[in-house]
Amino acid sequence: MRARLIAITAVLAAACAAPPPPSDYAWALPPRFQPPPVPADNPMSAAKVELGRRLFYDVRLAANGTQACASCHAQARAFTDGRATSVGSTGEVGRRNAQPLANVGYLASLTWANPSMRALEAQAHVPMFGVAPVELGVAGDGGALLARLADEPLYPALFAEAFPDDPAPLSIANLTRAIASFERTIVSGRARVDSGELTDAERRGQALFASARLGCNQCHGGFAFTVATGDDLRFFNTGLTADDPDRGVAAITGDPAQAGWFRPPSLRNVAVTAPYMHDGSVATLEEVVDLYAAGGRGAGVTTPRKSELITGFAITADERADLVAFLGALTDAALLTDPALADPW
């Protein structure tokens, strides 16, 4: 079974995607990185990015004033939260692990398993208005949220500066445009793997990662260490379980053959984003390696829906240590402390 929704397009070339619409925005990108795609109706600007950063960290976005986007996407954890599954502002426990946001602007689709969720502007509505589960808990048309923002003395001027041609700039649409603009600046590409400054163990692990025996790069290849970039919608059943109530892509498409399909996350900064998998059920990278070496877990090993890429492999303890060492070399320390991405409040 081929776990994909469209034919393969260029993976490495996704880093060199079509240039964004013209703007005067000055990107601060790692070497060899091109800007991520930017929609024509939401061109980048410094004012918009700064507004989006404030909104990303603002607990006013939650109906009860207890959480912000950053509550589930902490910079020090590469914009994850360290939980198996996230907890919303009302205390409701979600069903999925918070994904890292580094290089999110390059991804072909957003969230774990929604092939139709392609735009960051649209995705920003999910935590605000979603009810299954409740995250930020905004209800109705967002009028109360806008009123809370209007009460903050900084926001009227910031919205007006970010959207100078809009006669009513403080709106839900502009709020999501600003957050999406900030998220596009969360670009990770300054790890030791990028400079080539690897230890001997990390180099051995890198060779294993790309080897035919392990084949890690078949799902986690390319500049972002995920093949699901650009226009390449990619989802895989990795044999994690055969009876997961979370049906993955099948819950969106209704196709039972796509049960258990999830988008492969980026492995950049993976050493600081534990726990792992869509349900947060794997605690360490060593356990992740063992799971794939076994070809899955429990009945998932033999489920006919499992991707043909997940076949299992033999690996020694020393090789596993080398592979985990290489994964550690994907950590972009600058990203975790970059003041341009930090809480401005």
C-alpha to C-alpha distances, 85 to 7, 31, 50, 133, nearest whole angstrom: 31, 34, 29, 11
CA–CA separation, 108 and 345 (whole Å): 32
How confident is the prediction along the chain (345 residues), in pLDDT tens digits per residue? 333 333 323 333 334 344 545 567 999 999 999 999 999 999 999 999 999 999 999 999 999 999 999 999 999 999 999 999 999 999 999 999 999 999 999 999 999 999 999 999 999 999 999 999 999 999 888 999 999 999 999 999 999 999 999 999 999 999 999 999 999 999 999 999 999 999 999 999 999 999 999 999 999 999 999 999 999 999 999 999 888 899 999 999 999 999 999 999 999 999 999 999 999 999 999 999 999 999 999 999 999 999 999 999 999 999 999 999 999 999 999 999 999 999 999
Q: What is the pLDDT of residue 16?
A: 39
Rg value, the chain, Cα: 20
Residue 255 CB coordination number (10 Å): 12
What CATH class does 12-188 carry? mainly alpha
- SS3 track for 258-324: HCCEECCCCCCCHHHCCCECCCCCECCHHHHHHHHHCCCCHHHHCCCCCCCCCCCCCCCHHHHHHHH
Q: What is the pLDDT of residue 21?
A: 53
Examine domains 12-188 and 192-334 and report if their fold is the same.
yes
Residue ranges of the domains in the chain?
12-188, 192-334
CA–CA separation, 230 and 18 (whole Å): 9
pTM of the full predicted structure?
A: 0.92
298 touches 273 (CB < 8 A): no
> Per DSSP, what are the bridge partners of residue 131?
134
Q: What is the pLDDT of residue 243?
A: 87
Please name the fold of domain 192-334.
Cytochrome Bc1 Complex; Chain D, domain 2 (1.10.760)
Q: What is the pLDDT of residue 4?
A: 33
CA–CA separation, 212 and 314 (whole Å): 12
Is omega for the bond preceding 133 within 30 degrees of 0, making it cis?
yes
Q: What is the pLDDT of residue 1?
A: 35
